[in-house]
């Protein structure tokens, strides 16, 4: 069935550079001797460790358990011994370390007994809990815990499966759809049943014809009525709001979640892991990572979480002039020096950088207000205004120009003729605004605590005074009683005393 | 005769308006001083007393009563002073002495093996951020501490240090572009 898509505003068409890594099938990476698993692998609250140093763990065993709703558990990707729990490097632009669990692997790959749940009989809440305990999070990059997205009470009108993969170089979803289409389609059917969606749309950019063919084949084999929508290749077609608009024509206003409009969206790799969790009892402890860029053999690797990025890069043979990494795609990813930080649930792609492939950005020159950025912005913002206020450190003004709606897709910086690193300015302004909000909240809390303390001091004072008065009255009554007992005329004595 | 009518009309008008104003003053009376609340909202609520007043609210009251300068708050720094100047329509006065630059957040940390459990710091803390009991070790709840340093002086064994909390990937912010 053919279905045309709506044209979202803005966007750019960078070179896709996907062919090299999409050619070969997904290969399994050899098991490293040591895995480092940062506790915080998803949006929300980090899970808490439930293992001790020195303990032996089996493959698939929970090593950190989710304690809050917006959080997901973490599992051992293989069997081994817990070597340490402490601060270790992280693939983060700050270069700061973060709490992680270190596993020394034993190579036995000994599974923990984990029978698959009878998911067809489970209540929706139980399915949600099971997914949370299986550590299922969005593998497209935002790593939002998936069970939270299944929370919708209202019936979904459209279920969107995101296989657009619009970032250049990244091909992990492409290969996954080509090789594991049947399981993805089973997962989609499961999600359709859970969300009660009326219509299921699978979005794939038209530069992935094999993936489109594989998915269509699997759908007809499963006799499902899902529609594969072929999107024109334009970045950022895979971004949530752009994708929803392209497929349904629905536009969520600022500050309104698409869920409120009856649309829910899952990435294909997430759907695959939901299926593995519910049908096979397998937690998220591996993922497919694209290794590309300045390497001899670009391809996709099925990698245990916690494997060092450096080690993974070595598998594809980095060329000698490699001078750094990009984690994620070149548009939105994090530029890092070569690092032994580990692969986490959110790492979809490693790109080896070289001065030839990624020449340094020319120096920034003044903004000439050409508005090329506004035309490229898929969110309909005015990046030149946002830049102006961010640069002037007038963050409240930047917020009024809807800075929070910026998805940091990088289209504005890509088209800027003055080579202004616009996204960097926006990240800086967002950070300052978030810090100011944090400080304001702390000040408000401190104020209410201070006021309560004063109220309490006042209350204690009056209580003490009341107690003293009561004690004095009791004392007086006692004395009066004694004296009256002595004289035998209580009434008169008391009244006389009062008169005195 | 005409002039009497004019005077009567004006007098009647004045009476009516006066009555309306008088009624409004009672009906729509504002509790507390709104300016004081606005000033208090700008102050950092550290409750440190470095301004010479016992807490942020007393300082806010003193400013709105015209009894204090607007540049006495070291935790607020020149940023805070600038906001106060803007709110009150006063000229910006450079902060006095220590108040020059906004201080980085510090928190009190009790060195636990030196603490004797005297409860003096608990009584000094303006925001109830210290927990403990007599002859039991005390500890500072990190997320509630405002870094006011009021607990340092009462401690008889000098077991409280002021420390900068370590930066984590969550609290880290992007630096300004080009810097």
CATH of the domain at B149: 3.30.70.20
A497 pLDDT more than 50 = no
pLDDT at B97: 63
pLDDT at A147: 92
Count other C-beta atoms under 10 Å from residue A77's C-beta: 28
The reply to whether B90 and B130 lie within a common domain is: no
Return the sign of the alpha-carbon dihedral for residues A349, A353, A359, A363.
positive
Interchain CB distance below 8 Å, B46 and A93 = no
State residue A182 phi and psi, 5-degree precision: -60, -45
| 3-state SS, residue B70 | coil
Q: Is residue B74 part of a domain?
A: yes
Question: In what helix (H) or strand (E) does residue B108 lie, and over which residues does it extend?
Answer: strand B107-110
| Higher pLDDT, residue B88 or A258 | B88
Quote the domain boundaries for residue B127.
107-163
pLDDT at A174: 96
What is the per-residue pLDDT across A46-69, written as a single tens digit (0 to 9) for each?
999 999 999 999 999 999 999 999
Query: Residue A121 — very low, low, confident or very high, per pLDDT cuts 50/70/90?
Result: confident
A428 pLDDT more than 70 = yes
The residues of A whose Cβ lies within 8 A of any Cβ of B are 40, 90, 92-94, 96, 98, 364, 391, 421, 424-425, 427-428, 430-432, 434-435, 439, 442-447, 449-454
CA A50 – CA A57 distance, rounded (Å): 11
Count of domains forming chain B = 2
CA B62 – CA A220 distance, rounded (Å): 77
Interchain CB distance below 8 Å, B146 and A90 = no
The whole-angstrom distance between B178's CA and the closest CA on chain A is 9
Interchain CB distance below 8 Å, A451 and B57 = yes
What is the per-residue pLDDT across A287-342, written as a single tens digit (0 to 9) for each?
999 999 999 999 999 999 999 999 999 999 999 999 999 999 999 999 999 889 99
Interchain CB distance below 8 Å, B173 and A431 = yes
Candidates A362, A449, A455: best to mutate against B (most CBs of B within 10 A) is A449
Q: Mean pLDDT throughout B53-58?
A: 88
Count other C-beta atoms under 10 Å from residue B120's C-beta: 15
Q: Is residue B142 part of a domain?
A: yes
| 3-state SS, residue B23 | helix
**CATH class, range A19-32+117-304:** alpha beta
A493 pLDDT more than 50 = no
Cα-Cα-Cα-Cα torsion A221, A223, A229, A233, nearest 10 degrees, comes to -10
Interchain CB distance below 8 Å, A94 and B167 = yes
ipTM: 0.75
The whole-angstrom distance between A336's CA and the closest CA on chain B is 14
CA B20 – CA B27 distance, rounded (Å): 10
Q: What is the DSSP letter of B137?
A: -
Interchain CB distance below 8 Å, B174 and A444 = no
Q: Is residue B117 part of a domain?
A: yes
Return the sign of the alpha-carbon dihedral for residues A320, A322, A327, A331.
negative
Q: Three-class SS string for chain A?
A: CCCCCCCCCCCECCCCCCHHHHCCCCEECCCCCEEEEECCCCCCCCCEECCCCCCEECECCEEEECCCCCCCCEECCCCEEEEEEEEECCCCCCCCCEEEEEEEECCCCCECCCCCCCHHHCCHHHHHHHHHHCCCECCCCCCCEHHHHCCCCCCCCEEEEEECCCCCCCCHHHHHHHHCHHHHHHHHHHHHHHHCCCEEEEEEECCCHHHHHHHHHHHHHCCCCCEEEEECCCECCCCHHHHHHHHHCCCCCCCCCHHHHCEEEEEHHHHHHHHHHHHHCCCCCEEEEEEEECECCCEEEEEECCCEHHHHHHHCCECCCCCEEEECCCCCCEEECCCCCECCCCCCEEEEECCCCCCCCCCCCCCCCCCHHHHHCCCCCCHHHHHHHHHCCCHHHHHHCCHHHCCCCCHHHHHCCCCCCHHHHHHHHHHHHHHHHHHHHHHHHHHHHHHHHHHHHHHHHHHHHHHHHHHHHHHHHHHHHHHHHHHCCHHHHHHHHHHC
Residue B149 has which token pair? 């340093």
Query: Residue A29 — very low, low, confident or very high, per pLDDT cuts 50/70/90?
Result: very high
User: What percentage of chain B exceeds 90 in pLDDT?
Assistant: 38
State residue A199 phi and psi, 5-degree precision: -135, 140
The residues of B whose Cβ lies within 8 A of any Cβ of A are 40, 43-47, 55-57, 126-129, 144, 146, 167-178
CA B112 – CA B131 distance, rounded (Å): 12
Q: Is A405 exposed, middle or buried (0-12, 13-18, 19+ CB in 10 A)?
A: middle
Q: How many CA atoms lie within 13 A of A204 on its CB side?
A: 24
The answer to whether the beta carbons of residues A88 and A97 sit under 8 Å apart is: yes
B56 pLDDT more than 80 = yes
pLDDT at B6: 94
pLDDT at A495: 47
Query: Residue B75 — very low, low, confident or very high, per pLDDT cuts 50/70/90?
Result: confident
What is the per-residue pLDDT across B83-121, written as a single tens digit (0 to 9) for each?
899 899 888 887 766 555 556 778 999 998 889 999 999
Residue B56's closest chain A neighbor by CA?
A447
pLDDT at A484: 86
CA B42 – CA B61 distance, rounded (Å): 13
B174 torsion bin: left (phi>0), alpha (psi -120 to 50), beta (else): beta
Q: Is residue B44 part of a domain?
A: yes
**Residues in A touching B56 (Cβ below 8 Å):** 447, 450
The whole-angstrom distance between B88's CA and the closest CA on chain A is 20
User: What percentage of chain A exceeds 70 in pLDDT?
Assistant: 96
Q: Mean pLDDT throughout A336-358?
A: 94
pTM of the model: 0.83
- The mean-pLDDT minimum among A250-259, A292-301, B57-66, B84-93 falls in A250-259
As a whole number, the mean pLDDT across chain A is: 91
**Residues in A touching B43 (Cβ below 8 Å):** 443
pLDDT at A499: 47
Most confident of A170-179, A256-265, A433-442: A170-179
Interchain CB distance below 8 Å, B127 and A90 = no
What is the per-residue pLDDT across A126-152, written as a single tens digit (0 to 9) for each?
999 999 999 999 998 889 999 998 876
- Closest CB to B169 among A98, A428, A431: A98
The answer to whether the beta carbons of residues A92 and A334 sit under 8 Å apart is: yes
pLDDT at A167: 95
Q: Is residue B56 part of a domain?
A: yes
CA B53 – CA B57 distance, rounded (Å): 9
- Closest CB to B174 among A90, A364, A424: A424
Interchain CB distance below 8 Å, A428 and B176 = yes
Interchain CB distance below 8 Å, B169 and A94 = yes
CA B55 – CA B158 distance, rounded (Å): 24
Q: By C-alpha distance, which of A311, A315, A316, A319 is closest to A297?
A: A316
Q: Mean pLDDT throughout B49-63?
A: 89
Interchain CB distance below 8 Å, B45 and A453 = no
**Residues in A touching B171 (Cβ below 8 Å):** 435
Return the sign of the alpha-carbon dihedral for residues B82, B87, B88, B90.
positive
What is the per-residue pLDDT across A442-474, written as a single tens digit (0 to 9) for each?
889 998 999 899 899 999 999 999 999 999 999
| 3-state SS, residue B91 | coil
pLDDT at A259: 77
As a whole number, the mean pLDDT across chain B is: 87
Domain ranges of chain A: 19-32+117-304, 361-470
| 3-state SS, residue B177 | coil
What is the per-residue pLDDT across B164-177, written as a single tens digit (0 to 9) for each?
988 888 889 898 87
């Amino acid at each position: 069935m053919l279905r045309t898509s709506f044209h979202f505003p803005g966007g750019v068409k960078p070179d896709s550079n996907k062919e090299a890594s999409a050619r070969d099938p997904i290969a399994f990476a050899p098991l490293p001797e040591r895995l480092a698993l940062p506790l915080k692998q998803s949006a929300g609250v980090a899970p808490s460790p439930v293992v001790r140093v020195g303990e032996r763990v089996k493959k698939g065993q929970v090593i950190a358990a989710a304690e809050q709703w917006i959080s997901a558990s973490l599992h051992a990707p293989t069997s081994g011994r817990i070597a340490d729990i402490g601060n270790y490097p992280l693939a983060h632009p700050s270069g700061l370390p973060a709490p992680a669990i270190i596993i020394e692997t034993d190579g036995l790959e000994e599974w923990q007994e984990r029978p698959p749940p009878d998911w067809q009989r489970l209540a929706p809440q139980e399915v949600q809990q099971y997914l949370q305990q299986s550590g299922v999070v969005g593998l497209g990059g935002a790593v939002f815990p998936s069970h939270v997205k299944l929370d919708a009470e209202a019936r979904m009108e459209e279920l969107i499966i995101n296989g657009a993969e619009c970032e250049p170089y990244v091909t992990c979803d492409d290969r996954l759809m080509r090789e594991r289409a049947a399981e993805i389609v089973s997962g989609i059917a499961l999600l359709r049943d859970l969300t009660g969606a009326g219509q299921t749309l699978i979005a794939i950019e038209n530069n992935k014809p094999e993936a489109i063919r594989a998915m269509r084949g699997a759908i007809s084999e499963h006799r499902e009525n899902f529609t594969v929508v072929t999107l024109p290749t334009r970045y950022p077609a895979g971004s949530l709001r752009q994708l929803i608009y392209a497929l349904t024509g629905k536009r969520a206003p600022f500050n309104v979640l698409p869920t409120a409009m009856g649309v829910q969206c899952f990435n294909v790799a997430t759907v695959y892991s939901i299926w593995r969790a519910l049908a096979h009892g397998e937690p998220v402890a591996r993922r497919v990572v694209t290794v590309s860029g300045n390497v001899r053999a670009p391809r996709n690797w099925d990698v245990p979480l916690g494997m060092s990025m450096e080690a993974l890069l070595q598998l594809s043979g980095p060329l000698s002039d490699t001078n750094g990494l990009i984690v994620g795609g070149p548009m939105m990813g994090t530029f890092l020096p070569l690092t032994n930080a580990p692969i986490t649930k959110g790492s979809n792609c490693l790109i080896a950088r070289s001065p030839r492939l990624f020449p340094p950005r020319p120096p920034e020159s003044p903004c000439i207000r050409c508005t090329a950025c506004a035309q490229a912005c898929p969110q309909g913002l005015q990046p030149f205004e946002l830049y102006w206020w961010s640069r002037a450190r007038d963050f409240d003004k930047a917020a009024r120009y809807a800075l929070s709606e910026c998805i940091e897709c990088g289209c504005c910086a890509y088209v800027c003729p003055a080579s202004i690193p616009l996204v960097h300015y926006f990240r800086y302004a967002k950070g300052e605004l978030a810090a100011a909000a944090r400080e304001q909240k702390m000040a408000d809390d401190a104020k209410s605590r201070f006021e309560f303390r004063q109220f309490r001091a006042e209350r204690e004072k009056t209580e003490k005074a009341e107690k003293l008065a009561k004690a004095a009255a009791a004392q007086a009554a006692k004395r009066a009683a004694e004296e009256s007992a002595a004289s035998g005329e209580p009434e008169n004595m008391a009244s006389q005393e009062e008169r005195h | 005769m005409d002039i009497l009518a004019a005077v009567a009309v004006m007098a009647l008008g004045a009476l009516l308006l006066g009555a309306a104003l008088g009624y409004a003053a009672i009906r729509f009376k504002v509790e507390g001083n709104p300016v004081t609340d606005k000033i208090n909202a700008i102050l950092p609520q550290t409750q440190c007393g470095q301004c010479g007043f016992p807490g942020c609210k007393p300082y806010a009251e003193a400013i709105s009563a015209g009894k204090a300068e607007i540049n006495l708050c070291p935790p607020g720094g020149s940023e805070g002073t600038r906001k106060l100047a803007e709110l009150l329509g006063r000229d910006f006065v450079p902060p006095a002495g220590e108040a020059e630059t906004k201080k980085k957040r510090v928190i009190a940390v009790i060195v636990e093996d030196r603490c004797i459990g005297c409860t003096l710091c608990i009584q000094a803390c303006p925001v109830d951020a210290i927990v403990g009991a007599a002859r039991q070790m005390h500890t500072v709840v990190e997320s509630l501490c405002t870094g006011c340093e009021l607990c340092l002086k009462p401690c008889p064994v000098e077991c409280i240090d002021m420390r900068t909390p370590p930066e984590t990937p969550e609290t880290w912010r992007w630096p300004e572009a080009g810097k």
